Amino acid sequence: MRTILKNGKVITPLRIIDGAGIMMINGIIEQILEDGQWEWLEGDEVIDVKGRYISPGFIDLHTHGGGGCDFMDGTLDAILTGVRTHMKHGTTTIVPTTLASSKENLFGILKCMKESRHQKGIPNILGLHLEGPYFSMEQRGAQDPTYIKNPQREDYQEILNFSDDIVRWTAAPELPGAMEFGRELSKRGIVCSMGHSNAIYEDVVRAYENGYSMITHFYSGMSMVKRINSFRYSGIVESGYLIDDLFVEVIADGMHLPESLLKLIYKIKGPDKICLVTDSMRAAGCGDGESILGNLVTGQKVIVEDGVAKLKDRSAFAGSVATTDRLVRTMVQIAGVPLADAVKMITLTPARAMGIDHKKGSLIPGKDGDVVVFDEDIQVKLVVVGGKVIFEE
C-alpha cells in the first residue's frame, strides 16, 4: 500500500522543500519526492495538498486531557476522547499524563492505558507520564497535597512492577531518595524529569549525574535564584540554562510564558533542547466556559477564558487548553521563531528526548509515516498516522 502526498512544502530537519511531496509504503516513509519525481501506480492513494506544508507528525510529551475528558477520569473512553481531540490538531504521538493521586486510581489508569494502546484510528500512545507524587510541597502547584510524598523504593517499585507502560516520570530531585529513584528509572529505560521542585543548582547537577535528563514545564512550579542564609543560589531555571544537555519543556500557549521568556528560552537553549508541550487539561479543544481541573469526582471547578483555564476567582491559571498546532503558531507568530525550528521543537526534539528518533520526529526514509499537513496559519488540514489518513478537514 502506497500513500503519496504531492504538491506541498516538505519540512525536513535541514530545510523546507517547495513543490515537493512524500511517499509512504506500508506505513513507512519511502522517499521525499522533489519536483519532477511525480509518478504513481494504480491503487496508490495520492493526495494533492495544494501547496500546504508537509510536516512530521507532532509529538506531545505532556498532556492531561482534552475534548472534555481528563486522563485521570480513569476510563478507556476518556483516554480515547482525549487523544482523538489532540489528533485533530496534528498530534500523531502522545504521552498521556497523570497527577498525584491514590495508588488505586493510578492502577486503574494504567489498566486502561494498556487497553487503549491497541485501539485503531488514534495517535500513537507512547506510554504514560507520571507527574508526581514525589514533589516539593512548596512547588506542588495544582497537585493535591494529600498525595505528595518522598520517593520510597517499595512504593515506586510496586508501581513499576505493575505496568510496563510508564515511559516518563517527573519528580523533585532534592527529595530524600530521589537519586536512587533516578537510577532505577534509567535502568528500566524510563525518562526521568525534574519538576515541581525547590532544588538548587547542586541538586540538579547530582540529578543529571543520576539519570535525570529533562525539566518539566520550564519556569512553572520550580525554583529560581534565591537566598539561603544571605547567600544566593541558582534554582532549577538557572540550572536548565547552565546544563546544556538538559531538555526543557515549554508550554507555548502564549499565556503561561510571555513573549520575552519564550524568546529567552529559545535564544539560550535552542531548538535542539526545547520540547513544546501542551500540558493541557480536559478543556483543550472545547472553547470557553466552565470546566473541571483533574478527576471529574474530586477535581476543581475552573473557568476557561482568554485561551487559558483559570481559578474561579481568576487569581491564577488552572491549566493550559492548548493543542499542538497552537504551540507552533505561538512560537512562530509571537516569539518570532523560524517555522522549521518551531516544528523541530514539536517533532524531532521530543523524539530525541524520549529516545524514539530512530523511527519518529522527521521525514526521513525508514521512519514511521506520521505526517501533518497545515496551511500558512498553521491550521491542520490532514493527519496521517502509520501511512494512513486518520483525519482530514
Q: Which residues are catalytic?
A: 279
CB 250 within 8 A of CB 258: no
SS3 category, 290: strand
Q: Which residues, in sequence order, are CB contacts of 333 under 8 Å at separation 6+?
A: none
Tell me the residue length of the chain.
393
Which residue intervals of the chain are DSSP H helices? 76-87, 103-116, 153-162, 178-187, 201-209, 236-242, 259-269, 324-329, 339-344, 348-353
Pairing of strands 2-11, 53-56: parallel
Angle at 148 between CA 291 and CA 166, to 5 degrees: 80
Q: Count the alpha carbons within 13 Å of 165 in the hemisphere toward its beta carbon.
A: 24
Q: Which three cell numbers stand for residue 23?
A: 511517499
Whole-angstrom distance, CA of residue 382 vs CA of residue 374:
7
d(CA 384, CA 122): 10
CA distance 223 to 237: 7
- Please give the C-alpha separations between residue 34 and each of 29, 39, 52, 54, 362, in angstroms, as whole numbers: 14, 11, 15, 13, 16
Cβ atoms of 310 and 318 within 8 Å: the answer is yes
